[in-house]
Copies of this chain bind each other. A is one copy, B any other.
Amino acid sequence: MTVTFDGRVARSGWTLQVDGLDIDEGVTAVIGANGTGKTTLGRAVAGLDRLASGRLEIAGAVADDPAAGVFVPAHRRRVAMVFQDLRLFGHLRVIDNVAFGLRRAGADRAGARHQAGVLLERVGVDSAAWPRRPAALSGGQRQRVAIARALAPEPEVLIVDEPLASVDSSGRAQLRSLLGDSPAGHVILITHDPVDVATLAERVVVLDGGAVASRGSAAEVTASPGCEWAATFLGANVVPGRAHGTSVTTEGGLVLDVAEEAAGPVYVTFPAHAVTLHRDRPAGSARNAWQAELRRVDIDGERARVHLGGPVAVKADVTRRSADELNLQPGLTIWASFKATEVTIVT
């Protein structure tokens, strides 16, 4: 079963245009900068925004097709959504918020509450909080309730819009595995957390400016992120050049050895963590070595992301410890290298 999105959603002054996007079963991460249309995409799939043109299919059935005059309303789509702004029902107790979808599907009150309790336990909301109104919960507790509420009716498609943003770190691991094991056929996971992408996503869709910039497995998208933002997000370097056999000449004149043969204009992509930094010219097998100027270092926990200028603009991820050892400072001239086997060629 697949969700097929091929159409346009129009807002005043802004448009999301998605051409032939197939979302297969499993977890699909949707990433992109703020305001690129991730939430809009989710809303259209859920039936909260209408297509202005095109066609949306869910599991083989047409859900929205303005030309044919078909529109399946949200409540008939079996698509649940965890909203970015939560939208819990303020007048209902926490347990009844979660039981809401079950009740609508016909469960009796006791049964629905029982099941809701099971879910609340799974998302880590203490039973002391169940009879309270959402307003009497902390932010993270509320977000957990929102996740439980969307899971409850066992939807076919589960759209989660930054579901872990204010969940604490231990809860995150717990909820991640919950989402990974979700019985929903499709989980559309809108996220700004690279860890979500790395640990959960079987597929990644990159949105940029209201259009799909890239799609595929995490590795494919890292290789070909489609836009600057995603490249940074995924830690990929994208270097344009011209291929001749197994070498590529970059615009800056640097000749790189690659493991694949190609010809003509190509992009050489390789992850930031594949780049090694050295004080002196590296010995050994790595032929792709060059002298670069160190532009900036971003410390990110135990990891340091080093931005290099020179013949090619490249990012390198090193451990914080080696950054300290190398005494990396902006302005420094340093050797960079990567192995030919780490490279993907995109034509």
Residues of A within 8 A of B (CB): 11-13, 32-36, 38-39, 84-86, 124, 126, 128-129, 136-141, 144, 161-162, 165-173, 192, 194-195, 198-199, 229, 232-233, 273, 298-303, 317
Contacts and interface: CB of A to CB of B under 8 A. Distances in A.
Given A138-B34, A139-B84, A140-B34, A302 B303 contact: yes
Given A169-B232, A170-B232, A139 B39 contact: yes
A191 B36 CA distance: 25
> Which of A11, A35, A128 has the largest count of B CB atoms less than 10 A from its CB?
A35
B233 A299 contact: no
> Which of A161, A199, A301 has the largest count of B CB atoms less than 10 A from its CB?
A301
Given A34-B138, A137-B35, A198-B300, A168 B273 contact: no
6 contacts: A35-B141, A85-B85, A168-B192, A173-B298, A302-B303, A302-B317
Identical copies of this chain, number: 2
Contacts of A303: 302
Given A161-B139, A299-B199, A300-B199, A34 B232 contact: no
A192 B167 contact: yes
Contact of A171 (B12, B34, B84): B34
A139 B162 contact: yes
